[in-house]
Amino acid sequence: MSDKMLHPELHDPDAKRPARDGEPLDHAEAASKPLRSRMPEAQPRGAKIRGNRPIDQAEAAKRFIAAPEHQKMHDERLWDLRKKRDREMHGMPEWEDLRSFASQIKEHTLAHLDHYLEMFEHNATANGIKVHWAKDAAEHNDIVLGIMREKKATRLIKSKSMLTEECGFREFMTGQGIDVVETDLGERIQQLDDEAPSHVVVPAVHKMRSDVAQVFAKTIGSDPDNDDANYLAERQRAHTRPLILDAQVGMTGANFVVAETGGFVVCTNEGNADLSANIPPVHIASIGIEKLVPRMEHLAVFVRLLSRSALGAPITQYTSHFRGPRAGAEMHVVLVDNGRTERLGMEKFWTSLKCIRCGACMNTCPVFRRSGGLSYGATYAGPIGLIIDPTFNARKYSTLPFSSTLNGSCTNVCPVKINIHEQIASWRQVLAETHEIPFMKKAMMAAAGKILAHPALYRAAIAAADSALKNLPRFAVYNRLNTWGRGREVPAPPPESFHSWYKRNRIDRKQPGGKP
């Protein structure tokens, strides 16, 4: 392979990089610190999917934790992004104002979505873009397939898009005999490993370099024992570049859509969206209808927030504006609903549509960092996933809102101020009321509610628990049913409860022999 294809920064990872404010530009996506071992630890896989049955996130998370090198690397990588995000935030005194503006712009746009969608369609059409409307995933996939058939195209290159994940796009196209090539490095790794992305911004963040070496060895013939990042990136590039250069159709998503200009914006760090959009003669952009902002000036708010929140970098390497087809080429926009209109009508949950898919809530979430994104068994993982996934399938994803401690860090980092942890709590209530939580859990809570509403029952329960802890041998306390005791010691029972102390010291002394 030619040295010319190598990005200059990849030649020497320790070389001094371009400085900003006296510090080397520390690009977060490339800043992983792999851990070494003699025998590579096998990559833990995601949640087991059993049709429509509720996802057992806790089970998949346990398997992730049981792979300590992966878990530690994953936690540290994402915590590193969180710290870099904090550093950027503290560099901007107007940060909290920006969050408020972003939230207000999104809420306004969502409240007048029909108006702005029509404005966009009108202006985009005037720019020469062909605008399509898809009410669901199937319509989206059919529209794209129709364009491919019309062009007699057999290969489509694309940049990363969570919307196409939502639509099961790759699987569908493969079934139609179309070769789909992901051009984002992380997404390409996931495609070659036949695994979904685990994170909306860094799709292969759960993989170590040794995992990638194994995947590439099997799929593109690299050396399985060489997990050097430069080597792996270069092999992938050498393998994928020719596929990109003669693709007939390119696809991107969009981060933002501007109603007043009829244009859209794609933010990437690898430049792969620009390859996908500009090399083939046809560019298709698949876009969720919630991506709209009214005016060009509103973009400034979001572009300042997006990459800082996502990666702790001031801006993405590429912020590409598309307004219409270049000479001799075609540009299509597919506007996709796929449940968004229904979500817009949900009083407690509609503001989840403000999401700009930065992934900050995942990076900060202590449960996500210890579970891996694939443990959620859904297109959207982490805190934002917990409140979006049940809108797609309330039964299959009924367990997900319980995979949270409700600590609220997600809400605080959200650049568009979605009250994520409050919506997680609201989903628990909705699911409990619609009988989408396990009978045992509900029965336990009903029993607890009954005991806690009756002081005499409550006193008896406390006495029984304390007595059991005092009198049972250790093997009987730490049994299979005691989930608390698997990873922790059970608290030692005190000589007496506060209640009985109070009775002895404050009531019986005042009223000897008397009941209060």
Partner 1 sequence: MRIGLFVPCYVDAFEPQVGIDTLHLLERLGLEVDYPYDQTCCGQPMTNTGCHAESAATEALFVKNFAPYDYVVCPSGSCAHQVRYNLDAIPQTDEVKAVRSKTYELVEFLHDILKVDAFPWAEFPHKVTLHNNCNTLRGLGIASMSELNETAFSKPLALLQKVRGIEMVEIARPDECCGFGGTFSVFEEGVSAKMGHDKVRDQVSAGAAYVTSSDSSCMMHQKGCAQRADLPLKFIHIAQILNGARA
Q: Which of residues 400-429 bind partner 1 (CB under 8 A)?
A: 401-409, 411-413, 425, 427-429
Burial of 3 (0-12, 13-18, 19+ CB in 10 A): exposed
Among 203-211, 227-235, 316-324, 497-505, the segment contacting partner 1 (CB under 8 A): 497-505
Which of 275-311 are b and which e, b meaning 16 or more Cβ less than 10 Å from the residue's Cβ?
A: bbbebbebbbbbbbbbbbbbeeebbebbbbbbbbbbb
Size of the site for partner 1 (CB under 8 A): 77
Q: Does the protein bind partner 1 through residue 493 (CB under 8 A)?
A: yes
Q: Does the protein bind partner 1 through residue 310 (CB under 8 A)?
A: no
Q: Which is nearer to partner 1, 145 or 432 (CB)?
A: 432
3-state SS, residue 490? coil
Residue choice 8, 18, 22, 93 for contact with partner 1 (CB under 8 A): 93
Of the candidates 116, 82, 461, the residue with the CA atom closest to the CA atom of residue 295: 116
Residue choice 17, 62, 151, 237 for contact with partner 1 (CB under 8 A): 62
Q: Does the protein bind partner 1 through residue 10 (CB under 8 A)?
A: no
**Amino acid, single-letter form, for residue 335:** L
* Footprint on residues 268-307 left by partner 1 (CB under 8 A): none
| Element of type H or E holding 224 | none
Q: Does the protein bind partner 1 through residue 79 (CB under 8 A)?
A: yes
Q: Which is nearer to partner 1, 58 or 220 (CB)?
A: 58
Shortest Cβ distance from residue 119 to partner 1 (Å)?
Answer: 34
Q: For the window 95-114, what string marks contact with partner 1 as x by the rule CB under 8 A? A: xx------------------
DSSP 378: S
Shortest Cβ distance from residue 396 to partner 1 (Å)?
Answer: 17
Q: Does the protein bind partner 1 through residue 502 (CB under 8 A)?
A: yes
Residue choice 35, 65, 303, 346 for contact with partner 1 (CB under 8 A): 65
Q: Does the protein bind partner 1 through residue 472 (CB under 8 A)?
A: no
Asked if 154 and 330 count as a contact pair (C-beta separation under 8 A), the reply is no
Question: How far apart, in whole angstroms, are the C-alpha atoms of residue 275 and residue 146?
Answer: 22
Which of 351-366 are b and which e, b meaning 16 or more Cβ less than 10 Å from the residue's Cβ?
A: bbbbbbbbbbbbbbbe
Contacts of residue 416, defined as CB under 8 A and 6 or more positions apart, other chains included, come to 99, 102, 103, 106, 305, 354, 355, 356
Asked if 431 and 386 count as a contact pair (C-beta separation under 8 A), the reply is no
Residue choice 453, 473, 474, 512 for contact with partner 1 (CB under 8 A): 453
Q: Does the protein bind partner 1 through residue 242 (CB under 8 A)?
A: no
Residue choice 364, 377, 381, 416 for contact with partner 1 (CB under 8 A): 364
Contacts of residue 4, defined as CB under 8 A and 6 or more positions apart, other chains included, come to none
Q: Does the protein bind partner 1 through residue 488 (CB under 8 A)?
A: yes
* Footprint on residues 368-407 left by partner 1 (CB under 8 A): 370-371, 401-407
Q: Which is nearer to partner 1, 318 or 478 (CB)?
A: 478
Of the candidates 214, 222, 193, the residue with the CA atom closest to the CA atom of residue 45: 193
Q: Which is nearer to partner 1, 13 or 68 (CB)?
A: 68
Among 212-220, 257-265, 285-293, 447-455, the segment contacting partner 1 (CB under 8 A): 447-455
- Cα 30–203–90 angle (5° rounding)? 55
Among 54-62, 149-157, 249-257, 268-276, the segment contacting partner 1 (CB under 8 A): 54-62
**Amino acid, single-letter form, for residue 387:** I
* Footprint on residues 246-265 left by partner 1 (CB under 8 A): none
- Three-state SS annotation for 154-190: CEEEECCCHHHHHCCHHHHHHHCCCEEEECCHHHHHH
Q: Which is nearer to partner 1, 174 or 405 (CB)?
A: 405
Question: How far apart, in whole angstroms, are the C-alpha atoms of residue 316 and residue 314?
Answer: 7
Q: Which is nearer to partner 1, 299 or 431 (CB)?
A: 431
